[in-house]
Each structure stands twice: as structure tokens, then as C-alpha cells.
Amino acid sequence: MDAPINIIDPLQGDFPEVIEEYLEHGIMKCVAFNRRGTLLAAGCSDGSCVIWDFEVRGIAKELRDKDCVAAITSICWSKNGLRILVSAANKSLILWDVLSGTKITSIPLQQTPLQARLNPGPSTPSVCLACPLSSPPMVIDLNTGTSSFLPLTVPDTANGNGAAPPPSRNKSSDQKNTSFTPTAACFNKYGDLVYAGNSKGEILVIDHKSIEIRALVPISGGAVIKNIVFSRNGQYLLTNSNDRVIRVYENLLPRKEAVKGLDDISKSMDDALAGAEKLKTIGSKCLTLCREFQDSITKMHWKAPCFSGDGEWVIAGSASKGEHKVYVWDRFGHLVKILEGPKEALIDLAWHPIRPVVVSVSLTGLVYIWAKDYTENWSAFAPDFKELEENEEYVEREDEFDLVPDNEMGKDSSINEDDFVDILTVDKDTFSDSDMSQEELIYLPVSPIPDPPEQPDKHLGSYSRMMNRNYSASPLSDEDPINGEPQPRSKSPAEGGTTGSTRAKRKRKPCRRNQSSD
């Protein structure tokens, strides 16, 4: 379905509108917020990863590996924010310790990883998902470095459960003779399932522990799926296909223990169904199509689509060269706003987890921060506040500044002082699903850098030393330090001299012109 042409009133929603600021540090390629949105990590073209303190918009830390000088293709935070996983164009994955800034491990791959994601279930994950350039997605154990390719097609000889037999582990030779298009994949909310898209336009629900396809959801048109993204709460799934359509699905499986939910669905299925037909029937009970977004006029391709922090908005960047446009839709399919930036191509997008703020990365390496354009309304703070267009003379009332006794002020108070006030219970964030854990990294400690010691001015120092030498040597010297003429020695106070004059006056030389005239 096409998006409506009319644009609804922007005042109905809280979404960004204008570029508030931009960040500049080398050539940045991709960005990612931590769970609280207090830190922003950006991967650069020189292989480094810079972490910005998003509250003050300053650099908090820079992660750099001397063995990696290739561009960063993706970046991902762990649940507690203590780890960062980056994929680089030199066919490697690097896991960083954020606090110490040290490299935990580096895993080489056979292909260039276009995207890498940590398992969002545990606070300190040991498993990640990588999507290489020309091979199927793989699940990698970060502790041992072993990897397993995920199946992307349902073979004709499927087992009784309709699942494909697991492929061989650590065998890249099986994939050499098969050409693959770049495939998108992502974990669900708690990381027990992987949702992958293939070149046939199908969404595969895979149990990554057993390497089995548990469900299959075909997409109308059968176009290649380029992006798969889950909303923060795990309720909605977004896909971006080559047919220039963004589709939003509702997740029907339970948020927790999704594998158990799949087992219950499989047990309730008719035994007569098997293979791909059974997987499609299970898939219809896993995902249901909600909305489709596209530009029916320009038919443009989309770049880096994602959800807002609360899942109420969907944004995507235009893939056209030479323009920096961000399209904003609500979850019901209405086009709300088109954000137009500078004449630079857009390569990545990220929505702040809590606030209506979007960051976009341009082809030139700048990161633009889009925020809402707030209008100052002082009457909202004080109902009796009156805004004046120009200065007016104010005549105060006679009793306006009279002191009112405290007993009279408390008569009209509607506050019950005997009510219990709870100051211990912590309210849960509206948009944040993070647990209040002491191990969670919210801010990076900053070590103050001392200023370099001031170097004294050489000219000033030499001049002062010269003056001190002149003043100290003159009373004891018989020669003038400037012209070398003999001078009478002044008496010290012990010899009867005056304390006010410690230096003899310099004699003036007779002028040669006067001598010749004589």
C-alpha cells in the first residue's frame, strides 16, 4: 500500500525537525547509541572508534588498534555498555573493553563483514552475529573464535520438524561455489532466535543454537531483503527490500522464551504438513504484516531504516546520491515529515533510545544531530505571565509587596502534610527497557589533562637578568656597563653614603660638533 500524500500536523508527534549541531572527527562511517543514549560510538575510516559523550557533545574516549587501519563497517554496544563490537573492512571483528580501552579479542573472517551484532540477551555476551559480503550469516563464539553458517534456504529433504539439517561448522569451502548476495540478519529481543532474509524475499526464523530453520515468512514480490531491524521492545520487525518498500511486521511470538513458543506452535500443527509448507504455516503465526512504506512518486531506494526508541515512528534515509533526506512515518503509515539536510549522501542513521533525536552520517564523514525545534513559551511556566511586545510602564498596587503572615498563607493550602511521600521507589523509564544494574555503563569517567608548563619568555628573561646585573654591578664597578667610561664609586650606607642613591650618574660625553667649533 502506498503512503498517503497528505502530511499530518507536525504538532501531533514528538520527532526531530531541524539540524541542531554536527560532530566532526575524521571521516565517520557508522554510529550507534548505548542503551541509555548517553554515549554515541562512531566508527571511522581509519579503523578507529570514537566515543562521544552525547550530553556535552565531547569526545570521551578513542579506541584504536594499530593492526587495523581499514574502515569500520558497523558498530554495536553490549547490553551493559561495557563492550563494543566493530566490524572492519580488513575482514575482521574486534571486541573492545570500553572502560580500559583495550582490545579483548580480534577474529579474522574469510569475507568482509558488512554488519556485526552482539547477542542482546546476556549483559556480557559471548556470541555475535556477522553478515559477510558474499557468504551466509554466521554465528561466532567470541571466546573460542569458532563460527557456524546459518542456512538461508529450505532444502527439499527437510527433517520431520521441517527444519533444515545443520551445516558443517568452520567450513567455508562449502560456500565457495555458491554466490550469495549480501544478506541481512538480526537477533530478536532476548537473543534466542535469529531473523534472516534471503535473496528469494523470505524471512527465516532460525534457532542459532541448533542451526535449524523454525519458520518461514514469504514477502510479496520476492525481492532481496537488505535490512532487518527489531524495535527496542521487540514487538515489531522492519524489513527493507530491493522493491523499494519498507514493511513493518508485528511479532506474535512471546518476547521471552520465543523458542518455547515455537515448540508449542509446532506441536499443534497437523502432522500431514511437512517441509516448506509447514514452515510457512508456522511463520504465519510468528509474524503478521502491519504496514508498508514507500515513495510512490520517486520510487527511491531506502538507506538504514530503523524505529524510534518507543517504536511509534519509523525513519529511513534516501539512497539517492547528492541528497541528505530523512523520511519520518508514524507506525500507522502516515508520512509525517521529510527532513532535508545538506547536499551530501546519507550512509547511516540512528534514533536516540529515549529522546526525539536522530543522528545521521554523511558521506563526507560528518555526523548531524537532528532535534525538535522548540518554541519558547514563557506563559507555560506561569499562567499569569504576560508577554509584551514593547516596554510598558508598570504601576504597582499598594499591597502588592506587603508581607503576609505564614499562618494566613497556609489557610488556603490544599497540601496534606500527613500524606506519605515515597522517596525510595525508582520509577521505570518510559522508553528504556534496561534494568537498573550497577554494572551498566552510563557515563565514561574523564581524566583531567594537565596543562603544559608555561615556558618563560627568553627575551624577557634575558632582559631582566641584564637589568639585575646592571643594578647589582654598578655600585661596585668603576666602569659604566654601557659605554665603558670610568665612574665614581658611590659610598655604601656604612661609609656615610645615602641609601636613596646607590648608583652613580653617568657622565655625558662632549659633543664633537662643539669641540670642532672651539
Q: What's the confidence (pLDDT) of residue 353? A: 93
**Extended beta strands in 142-193, E state:** 147-149, 185-187
CB 468 within 8 A of CB 474: no
H runs (alpha helix) in 293-427: 406-409
Q: What's the confidence (pLDDT) of residue 495? A: 46
Q: How far apart, in Å, are the Cα atoms of 202 and each of 220, 280, 378, 422? A: 9, 10, 53, 52
pLDDT digits (tens, 9 = 90+) for 413-428: 566 777 888 888 766 6
| Spatial distance between the Cα atoms of 509 and 36, rounded to a whole number of angstroms | 83
Q: How far apart, in Å, are the Cα atoms of 95 and each of 63, 64, 65, 384? A: 11, 12, 11, 57
| Spatial distance between the Cα atoms of 345 and 14, rounded to a whole number of angstroms | 26
Q: Which range is least confidently modeled, 69-83, 174-188, 395-409? A: 174-188
Helix (H) or strand (E) holding 91: none
Winning range, highest mean pLDDT, from 370-384, 404-418, 502-516: 370-384
Average pLDDT, rounded, for the chain = 80
Is 23-143 a domain of CATH 2.130.10.10? Answer: yes
Residue 67 bridge partners (DSSP): none
Helices 258-267 and 275-284, interaxial angle, to 10°? Answer: 120
| Spatial distance between the Cα atoms of 207 and 205, rounded to a whole number of angstroms | 7
Comparing 177 with 292, the larger pLDDT belongs to 292
Output the pTM of the full model: 0.74
Beta strands 302-307 and 185-187, pairing class: unpaired
| Spatial distance between the Cα atoms of 101 and 96, rounded to a whole number of angstroms | 7
Helix (H) or strand (E) holding 517: helix 512-517
Q: For the chain, how long is the longest CA-to-CA vector?
A: 140
With vertex at residue 77, the alpha carbon angle to CA 239 and CA 114, rounded to the nearest 5 degrees, is 50
pLDDT digits (tens, 9 = 90+) for 55-64: 999 999 999 9
Name the CA radius of gyration of the chain, rounded: 36
Count of positions (residues) in the chain:
518
